[in-house]
Structure formats: structure tokens, C-alpha cells
Amino acid sequence: MPAASTMPPFGTSGSNADTPLSLADYLRAVQDDPALWADFNALCDTGGRLAGTPSEAAAQAWCASRLDALLPGAVTRRDPTPYAGWVCHVAEVRAVHAQASLASSKPLVATPLLGTAPTPPEGLTLDVLDLGRGTPEQIQAAGDAVRGKAVLVEHEYPFSTSTVHRRVKLAAAQAAGAAAFFVAHPESNVGPVSGSSGRGGAPGIPAMGLSAESAAVLKRPGARVHLRIDAEDLTGAQTDVLVLDLPGAGPDRVVLSAHIDGHPLAESAIDNGTGVAAALALARQIAPHVSSLPRGLTVCIFSAEEWALNGSREWLAKLPAEQRERIVLNVNLDSLAGSPNLTALISGFTGLAPLVDAAATAAGRPIAQHLPLMSNSDHANFAAVGIPAMRLIAGFNEPDSALRLLLTPADTRDLVDESVLRSATATAGAVLWTALTASHEQMSSLSAPNNEQ
């Protein structure tokens, strides 16, 4: 393969397909797409879309109909995909006061982490150990004090270079002998924070998300807590991946993806109603022209992403090798609003940097880049099997942005500005266009060794 410096740069006339649709026309059509905002609101209308619920099923049925409408004769595939199903019947937390009965104590505002281990039927009564931020180093330093306690840690802004993920903290607490785990949102008047426990049916400890106000109660000296979780793992649970394949002039494919599932606390609006609505708009405006482009487009709407990226991992594992080898790039759209600033998380693939730069120039909008792999959405599963992959996200390294409210009851459509979503969608369109129209030589450079893992 020639050195990258000898290749025509992305975005030059030599790399673009001969198509009657110009880049400027495509970006204008995307940004002005009359269905974009309506689609976003329609998806929010279906609710939080937790995998395995009627809300998810309604959203998938709606989305499949929207994909089918992209081209005459288009048929959206539903690929059944297993995931570690789980259902919770009861989850409650109460502070234990020496001078009051448990029955008189009001339940604290809390929510179970997806897939958490249950408690015994009678529940658990435990001393609380507040470890502040709760990094693995802090948990390890606490030593034997962790054993048998309910460990309380802070939820961190999830999209930054310094984030320590909740599952990392949970794993450290469990390894240190904690009997239960609480993660608390730091901001008042937001409610509890949700998220996946990542347990996947394996042994674990009860784990719940708390509101800031509930955490304040448990941070009092000598605090004790009673928690009860009645939950069960579901054998044979599965969801669907919605797949619409649009062939191009050549055999290769660019996969445009977004996850449709969310959490039951709100509307899962930013995460990820924005990504699904944007993916539909991008596909809608390019669909009539894909057959003339050098490579085809496969639209994948994943579910069970909120379950430790389970859905896309299983789908890729089941994909026939010859189909997987034809995927030259994954462009994953996840959380495109809440800030006007977009970042491409390029998963350690240095060859993606010039593609993103060319797309930013074409769009006339900046796209920041983060090179090391971040396993925080479905792109990570493509990268794990050697497929160049990126996630486009708003608000990276912006802890004061509206994305701080993801995974809480505040993730509603009110957080999303229509003009911001339209601008982000057009910017994502420039990335998609660049990938679909680049030469074979240019796309071959994307799979350069990813040494920044």
C-alpha cells in the first residue's frame, strides 16, 4: 500500500464519484430535511425505549417503516440478536435510622443499574462507605474498609479524556469485597442516574444509581442503608438490529449506525434520539444516489447498546466473514446535540484523521478529533474486529454541556435545539459523503495500524 503522503488527499476531485448530486446539494438537503425534526420528536414520543419493553418495540416498528420508505421497494431486515436480558420487579433504597422503624423511612430516589444482581428476598442492611469520586485507586486504598459495605461513588461526566466509567468503579468495588454499590449524580434537581451494570448474568453485587439528594443522605456520618432488589435474568432474550443495505457500484460498504434503545427514566432524547433521526435523514437524502457511488451504504439501527454494547457485538459476531470483510468504515452517530461542538472519536485509527479533516473542510464546520479508542458506543465493537470506526458525538470534554444530563430523567427533547441538531446532521453528512465517494486507494489507508489503544 502506498504511503499516505503519496495518495490524493480526501476531498480532491480525483477521489469523488461521478454523481449528479453534488456535496453542496447533499449537505443542503440534509440540513433542510423537513422530516428530521419530526422524526426526532416521533422517536421521543415512544418513550425511553429500554430494550425488551413495549417502548423499544414501538420505536423499532416505527423506525423500520421509516427505513422502508427511503426507496421504492426497500425492505428493512430485522436481524434477531441475543443479549443478556434482565427484568427488575422491585428496587428500593431506604436510609436506616436508629430511632425510627424501617417502614417509616421514605424510599430514597434511586434506580437499579441495568442487569444488576438482586438482593436476598429480605434485602440487605449495610453500612455506607462514601469514597468520593471512587476511582479504582481510591477503592484499593480503602483496603478492608470496603469489605461488606455499600460503597458510594460519584457519577462522572461520561465524555472526556479523564472519565472513569461507572463499570470500572463497580468492578473495583466488587473485587474489593463490597456488598453493594451506589453511583450518584452530582447535580441537584436532576434525579437518579442510570446505566448498565455490565454483569450480563454473571456473579455480581446489587448496584443502583442515586440522585444527588439521596446521596447526601447516605453521606452523613454513620449512615446505614437498607436496599432490596427483586430482579431476574431472562434466558433467551433477543432484540432486533434493523438493517437496510443500499448497494453501490462496488462491493464495499460503509456502515452508518445509531442505537435506538435507551433508559426508562425519560425520553432518551439526546442519547440517542438525535443519532437515529440524523441517520434517517442522511440515508434518506443519499439513498437515490448510492448506486452510482464507489461503495454501498448499510444502515444499522442497533439496540441493546445500553447493555454494555451487547447488541452490535452479537450482530458483528454472527455476520458472515465475507460480509464483515467488505465493511471499510463504521460511522456511528450517538448523542449529536446538547452542544454545538462535534468530536470524532476515531478509535486509534490514525488513517481516519485526514478523512475527518476533509469532511470538516467540506462542511465548513470544525470537527475535533480524539484518537485513542473509547469503548462508549457501538463503534467500539467494529474497531475490536479491525474495522475502522468512529463515533460522532457532541459535547466531548464539555462537562457543563447538556450531555451531563444523559442517563437521567432530564434527557428529554427540551434539551435539544433544532438548529444544533440540523447543523450536526449536516456535518455528519460531510463525513458520510467523504467516505462514500473516496477512491479505493484512499479508503485502504483507513486501516493503518491503530497503535493508540
pLDDT tens digits for range 279-328 = 999 999 999 999 999 999 999 999 999 999 999 999 999 999 999 999 99
Strands, DSSP E only, in 207-345?
207-210, 224-234, 238-246, 253-259, 296-302, 327-333, 342-345
| Under-70 pLDDT residues of the chain | 1-19, 98-104, 448-453
Return the percentage of the chain with pLDDT > 90, whole number.
Answer: 89
* pTM for the full predicted model: 0.94
As given in the structure block, the three cell numbers for residue 449 are 495500524
pLDDT for the residue numbered 445: 84
Smallest CA-to-CA distance from 291 within 15, 17, 78 is with: 17
One-letter amino acid for residue 354 of the chain:
P
Would you say 366 and 351 are in contact if contact means Cβ atoms under 8 Å apart? no
pLDDT for residue 5: 36
Determine the pLDDT at residue 446: 86
Q: 277 with 299: CB under 8 angstroms? A: no
Helical H runs in 206-262? 212-218
